[in-house]
Amino acid sequence: MLEKQGALPTFGFRGFQSRGKAMKRILSVALLSFTLAACGEGGALNDTLKVSVRESIVATCTTAASEQIPEGIQVDINQVCGCAADKVMDGKSVSDLVANPPSPSEGVAKVQACLKELGPVTVNPAA
């Protein structure tokens, strides 16, 4: 199931794309709830909300990716998904994230960029 797009393995992140709509809905509801609760609260709550959003993105990415990585391929998916979440959120306010949650294609592009940045994926020989 290891697919190639150029020289970068994509690990068949199609599962990530199919979960994109669910992630978008969950993220939107969570952000809306926090935003409504936070009206007029200021920066500390905004930072807490961003941490929660990042954790949600990482969890969704990790679940989707872990189901797609073939046996024998070693990659620190938590590190890759954390990197991707940071890239998705970079320069965006909580309002931006509420109004425009990350799309599945944006998520896949960020994961691919992080795989390139974090170095080669290791393949373990069959035991």
123 token code pair: 């393949």
pLDDT score for 114 = 93
Instruction: Please give the model's pTM, rounded to 2 decimal places.
Output: 0.64
Instruction: Average the pLDDT over 27-55 and give the result.
Output: 67
- What are the residue boundaries of the structural domains of the chain, listed by start? 4-122
Residue 89 has pLDDT above 80, yes or no: yes
Decide if pLDDT at 12 tops 70: no
Q: What local confidence, expressed as pLDDT, does residue 4 receive? A: 41
C-alpha 124/C-alpha 28 separation (Å) is 39
Residue 78's contacts (CB-CB under 8 Å, 6 or more residues apart) are 58, 62
| pLDDT for residue 3 | 43
pLDDT band with cut points at 50, 70 and 90 for residue 100: confident
